[in-house]
Amino acid sequence: MRRLLLLAPLLILTAGCGVVQSSESEAADAAREVATKAGERLYSQRPRTAEEVGRSASGIDGVQVLRVKGTSTHEGDGIDVVVRTSGSAYKGWIDAQEVTVQRCFEVWVSPKSEWREVPGDVDCPDVPPMVFAPPPEPPQLPYEELSAKLPRVPEGGRVEEAEVRRTLAALDLHPAIRTEVKSDSGQVGVLMAVRGNGYDPQDCLLARVRPGATKVWVPSRIQRMPGEGGCSVGNALNPVAPPH
């Protein structure tokens, strides 16, 4: 009996050490999950420069960018981003204490990377977090000017696509503004858009010219989300009602 009593503190101590190790492991897993979610946010088939990828990563909550390697996502092996994240877990049952760890991971950003790819562990570079200049402000889409200058065709008249194209050419648009023009069933649709970041609503204008009616509008926010198709010349020709 005495021998069992002497062993009891040792068993408790051993179990306690196991709890500490498990807590640190759980905290490290939580840090890895933050890096994995960062990889999800950065995942895209759209070409981006190293600066664009680094800036996007640095704007994710809980992520510090320590190193960016590569030129662009579509050149060579793409972009490798070393990020530092933290994770927390609790140890103990009666008097729970929070254990927080910091870990570094390498996130690969390339058209060849996999969705929700688990980032690899790396040693944390002894450098401060990188700071990126804010992105240039996107050009303003010319809503008022487009509304004023698009042709008005009377009822029974004919809409000329060439005239619509000449109107757009005369606006002297910023090079970052992309335009599309398409004719269908006696009407002409127009799209003006600037490139989005892949997860926020895209900035775009739609217009439709048909006999008796010329209209310019901005699709609803939900329609301008990536994958919703609101910023398309097809939506200009045949507008989809916004969700309620």
Mark whether 89 and 168 lie in a shared domain.
Answer: no
All residues at 6 or more sequence positions from 9 whose CB lies less than 8 Å from its CB, including other chains:
none
- Does some domain include residue 17? no
> What is the rounded distance in angstroms from the CA atom of residue 89 to the CA atom of residue 21?
11
Mark whether 107 and 181 lie in a shared domain.
Answer: no
Mark whether 170 and 233 lie in a shared domain.
Answer: yes
- Does some domain include residue 224? yes
Strand partners, 206: 191, 217
Among 56, 90, 122, the domain-final residue is 122
> What is the rounded distance in angstroms from the CA atom of residue 109 to the CA atom of residue 47?
10
CA 143 to each of CA 103, 137, 171: distance values in angstroms, whole numbers, following the listed order? 48, 17, 11
Mark whether 154 and 113 lie in a shared domain.
Answer: no
Mark whether 60 and 149 lie in a shared domain.
Answer: no
- Does some domain include residue 131? no
All residues at 6 or more sequence positions from 196 whose CB lies less than 8 Å from its CB, including other chains:
202, 203, 226
Mark whether 107 and 165 lie in a shared domain.
Answer: no
- Does some domain include residue 82? yes
Rounded mean pLDDT of the chain?
Answer: 89
Look up the pTM and report it.
0.62
> What is the rounded distance in angstroms from the CA atom of residue 238 to the CA atom of residue 220?
15
- Does some domain include residue 137? no
Q: What is the pLDDT along the chain (244 residues), one digit of tens a residue?
A: 333 333 444 444 444 444 445 789 999 999 999 999 999 999 988 889 999 999 999 999 999 999 999 999 999 999 999 999 999 998 876 667 889 999 999 999 999 999 889 999 999 999 999 999 988 888 999 999 999 999 999 999 999 999 999 999 999 999 999 999 999 999 999 999 998 877 789 999 999 999 999 999 999 999 999 889 899 999 999 998 766 4
Mark whether 101 and 158 lie in a shared domain.
Answer: no
Q: How many domains does the chain have?
A: 2
Q: Is the dihedral of CA 29, 34, 37, 42 positive or negative?
A: negative
Among 61, 89, 122, the domain-final residue is 122
Mark whether 94 and 149 lie in a shared domain.
Answer: no
Among 69, 88, 122, the domain-final residue is 122
- Does some domain include residue 5? no
- Does some domain include residue 61? yes
Structural domain boundaries, residue 215: 143-237
Mark whether 27 and 113 lie in a shared domain.
Answer: yes
Mark whether 54 and 113 lie in a shared domain.
Answer: yes
- Does some domain include residue 31? yes
Mark whether 194 and 152 lie in a shared domain.
Answer: yes
Mark whether 147 and 117 lie in a shared domain.
Answer: no
Q: Which helix (H) or strand (E) holds 13?
A: helix 2-42
